[in-house]
C-alpha cells in the first residue's frame, strides 16, 4: 500500500521508463510499464483511463475523473519517459531515500512532478467529478526526443482543453514562456583526391567550415535583433561537425548540425528556418540544407485565469521564462494555453546523481492540491 507521495515517487522511479531513443546504460526502454502502473493506480482512484498507443508499446495515458459534458477542462501533464542512465554514479532505479532526498533517474525530471500531481488528485478524489472545471491527468510519451505524445494529443484532443499544467522541474515557479528551436543540418560537397595532391580535389571540410564562419558572422547579429523581454535573444550553436574518412584522403563530404533557439518574437516574424535559408542565399554559401526540424516557442499570457490561480496557490510563486522547450510548447501551439511547473531544479535534470528533495515534493503536492481547491470557487 502506497501511503505517501514519497513512496509513490519511489515506486515511479523503480519502474524504468528510459526513452528508447536514448537507451544509454539500459536496453529495455519504453513507457509501457509505467503507463500500465498508472492505469491501475488511477482506475483505483476513480478515473476512466485510456491508453493511446502513439508508437508500438509507447502510449499516452489519459485519465478523466469527470465526463465530457461541456464544462471547461484542465489537465495535469507530466511525461512518462526519462533520459538514459549511462555514467550515473547512483543506482538509477533504487529510489533510495537519504539525506532528505529521493535519488534516481526521473526523480527530478519529471517523476517528481508526476507524483506531486497524482497525490494532489488523490487528496481530492472524492470531489473531482463535481468540480466546475474538470481536471484530467495526461501523461505523455516521448518528451525527451521528438515530443510525439504531446503533438498527437494536441492534434486530437486540444479542442477539449482550456489549460495545461505541464510537469517540469521549475522550483515551483511558473514557466509561461519558452524558446523554441530549429535543428538544421547543412551539407557541403567536395571532390576526393589523394592527400599528397590536394590541389586535385576539393576539400568539403574546409568548404563547410568557412561557410559556417561566414554564416555565424552574418546570422548571429540578425538573430540578436529578435529579442524578447524575458527570454533574451535568439541564438545559434554549431553542435556537430562530421567529415572525411581518412587523413590521407581529401574529403568529399561534410555536414554540421545547427541548433537555433527561437524567441516568440522571431517566430512571429517569419521564423528561424526562413531566416536561415535567406541568409544562406544572401551569402551564396556552397552548402545545402538537408534536414530541418522545428519546435515552437511558447508564451501564455500571465493574466490567464488558470495561471493566476496556480500562482495564487503558493505564496512566492514567480512567473518566469526558460530557454528550453517541452511538451507545453506543442500543447500551446495546438491551441491549449500551457505552462510548466513542478518541484525540483532544472539543474538536477539528467544528472549522474539525480535527486529530488522531499521538502520540494511535499511543497509541490501542497501547491497542486491548493490549485484544485481554488478551482472549486470558479
Verify that 161 and 51 share a domain, yes or no: yes
DSSP structural state of residue 317: P
Weakest mean pLDDT among 20-34, 186-200, 287-301: 20-34
CATH number at residue 139: 3.40.630.10
Same domain, 43 and 74: yes
What's the rounded mean pLDDT across residues 252-269? Answer: 97
Element (H, E) at 102: strand 101-103
Task: Say whether both 24 and 105 belong to one domain.
Answer: yes
Q: Which value, to the nearest 10 degrees, does the dihedral of the CA atoms of residues 93, 94, 96, 102 take?
A: 10
pLDDT at 27: 77
Is residue 24 within 8 A of residue 86, CB to CB? The reply is: yes
Task: Give the integer Cα–Cα distance in Å for 104 and 26.
Answer: 14
What lies within 8 Å, CB to CB, of 99 at 6+ separation is none
Q: Cα(152)–Cα(166) distance, rounded to whole angstroms?
A: 15
Verify that 93 and 137 share a domain, yes or no: yes
Pick from 273, 295, 317: which residue ends a domain?
295
Of the candidates 227, 238, 236, the one whose C-alpha atom is nearest the C-alpha of residue 321 is 227
More confident residue, 29 or 102: 102
Q: Please report which confidence band the pLDDT of residue 1 belongs to, taking 50, 70 and 90 as the band edges.
A: low
Residue 83: which region, alpha, beta or left (left: phi > 0; alpha: psi -120 to 50)?
Answer: beta
Whether pLDDT at 25 is above 90: no
Q: Is the dihedral of CA 62, 64, 70, 75 positive or negative?
A: negative
User: Which cell is 101 given?
Assistant: 532526498
* Grid cell at residue 190: 567536395
Same domain, 66 and 149: yes
Domain coverage including residue 272: 180-295
pTM to 2 decimals?
0.93
Q: What is the mean pLDDT of residues 205-218?
A: 98
Same domain, 122 and 212: no
pLDDT exceeds cutoff 80 at 23: no
Which of 244, 269, 295 is the last residue in one of the domains? Answer: 295
- Please tell me what DSSP assigns to residue 20: G
Contact 208, 148 (CB under 8 A): no
Return the bridge partners of 259, or none.
183, 237
Cell of 189: 560537397
Asked if residue 144 and residue 20 are part of one domain, the reply reads: yes
Helix segments in the chain, DSSP class H = 5-13, 32-44, 111-123, 148-157, 204-224, 264-267, 272-283, 305-312, 327-333, 358-375
Is the same domain home to 142 and 188? no
Helix, coil or strand: residue 269: coil
Indicate the DSSP class of residue 162. S
Distance of CA 225 to the CA centre of its chain: 26
324 shares a domain with 229? no
Q: What would the mean pLDDT of 290-294 be, rounded to a whole number?
A: 95
pLDDT for 22 equals: 78
β pairing state of 253-262 and 235-243: antiparallel
Closest CA relative to residue 154, chosen from 341, 306, 30, 329: 329
Q: What's the mean pLDDT in 25-30?
A: 79
The residues, any chain, with a CB within 8 Å of residue 278's CB and separated by 6 or more, are none
Same-domain pairing of 173 and 319: yes
Question: Distance between CA atoms of 155 and 158, rounded to whole angstroms?
Answer: 6
**pLDDT for the residue numbered 107:** 98
Measured distance between the N- and C-terminal CA atoms of the chain, rounded to whole angstroms: 34
* Number of structural domains in the chain: 2
Measure Cα distances from 352 to 8, 24, 92, 107 in Å: 22, 12, 9, 12
**Listed residue (334, 361, 332, 365) closest to 345, CA to CA:** 361
Q: Which of 277, 295, 313 delimits the end of a domain?
A: 295
Average pLDDT over residues 50-78: 97
Nearby residues of 67 by Cβ (< 8 Å), 6 or more positions away: none
What pLDDT shows up at residue 199? 96
227: domain CATH number is 3.30.70.360
Q: Please tell me whether residues 149 and 224 are part of one structural domain.
A: no
What pLDDT does residue 28 have?
A: 79
Distance CA 297, CA 338 (A): 12
**Do 245 and 164 belong together in one domain?**
no
Amino acid at each position: 500500500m502506497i501511503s505517501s507521495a514519497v513512496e509513490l515517487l519511489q515506486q515511479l522511479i523503480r519502474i524504468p521508463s528510459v526513452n528508447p531513443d536514448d537507451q544509454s546504460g539500459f536496453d529495455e526502454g519504453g513507457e509501457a510499464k509505467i503507463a500500465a502502473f498508472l492505469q491501475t493506480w488511477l482506475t483505483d482512484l476513480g478515473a476512466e483511463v485510456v491508453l493511446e498507443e502513439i508508437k508500438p508499446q509507447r502510449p499516452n495515458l489519459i485519465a478523466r475523473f469527470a465526463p465530457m459534458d461541456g464544462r471547461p477542462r484542465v489537465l495535469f501533464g507530466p511525461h512518462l519517459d526519462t533520459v538514459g542512465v549511462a555514467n550515473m554514479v547512483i543506482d538509477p532505479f533504487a529510489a533510495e531515500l537519504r539525506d532528505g532526498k529521493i535519488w534516481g533517474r526521473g526523480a527530478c525530471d519529471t517523476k517528481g512532478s508526476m507524483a506531486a500531481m497524482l497525490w494532489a488528485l488523490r487528496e481530492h478524489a472524492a470531489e473531482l467529478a463535481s468540480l466546475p472545471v474538470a481536471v484530467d491527468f495526461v501523461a505523455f510519451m516521448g518528451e525527451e526526443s521528438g515530443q510525439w505524445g504531446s503533438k498527437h494529443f494536441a492534434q486530437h484532443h486540444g479542442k477539449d482543453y482550456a489549460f495545461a499544467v505541464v510537469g517540469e522541474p521549475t522550483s515551483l515557479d511558473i514557466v509561461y514562456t519558452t524558446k523554441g528551436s530549429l535543428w538544421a543540418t547543412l551539407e557541403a560537397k567536395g571532390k576526393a583526391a589523394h592527400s599528397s595532391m590536394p590541389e586535385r580535389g576539393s576539400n568539403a571540410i574546409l568548404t563547410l567550415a568557412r561557410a559556417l564562419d561566414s554564416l555565424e558572422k552574418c546570422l548571429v547579429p540578425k538573430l540578436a535583433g529578435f529579442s524578447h523581454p524575458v527570454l533574451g535573444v535568439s541564438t545559434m550553436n554549431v553542435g556537430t561537425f562530421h567529415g572525411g574518412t581518412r587523413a590521407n584522403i581529401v574529403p568529399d563530404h561534410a555536414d554540421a548540425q545547427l541548433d537555433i533557439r527561437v524567441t516568440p518574437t522571431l517566430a512571429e516574424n517569419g521564423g528561424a528556418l526562413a531566416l536561415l535559408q535567406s541568409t544562406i542565399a544572401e551569402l551564396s554559401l556552397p552548402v545545402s540544407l538537408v534536414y530541418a526540424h522545428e519546435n515552437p516557442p511558447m508564451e501564455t499570457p500571465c493574466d490567464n485565469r488558470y495561471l493566476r490561480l496556480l500562482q495564487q496557490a503558493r505564496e512566492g510563486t514567480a512567473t518566469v521564462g526558460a530557454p528550453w522547450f517541452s511538451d507545453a510548447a506543442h500543447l500551446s501551439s495546438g491551441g491549449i494555453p500551457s505552462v510548466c511547473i513542478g518541484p525540483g531544479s532544472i539543474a538536477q535534470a539528467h544528472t549522474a546523481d539525480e535527486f529530488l528533495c522531499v521538502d520540494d515534493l511535499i511543497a509541490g503536492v501542497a501547491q497542486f492540491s491548493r490549485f484544485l481547491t481554488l478551482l472549486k470557487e470558479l
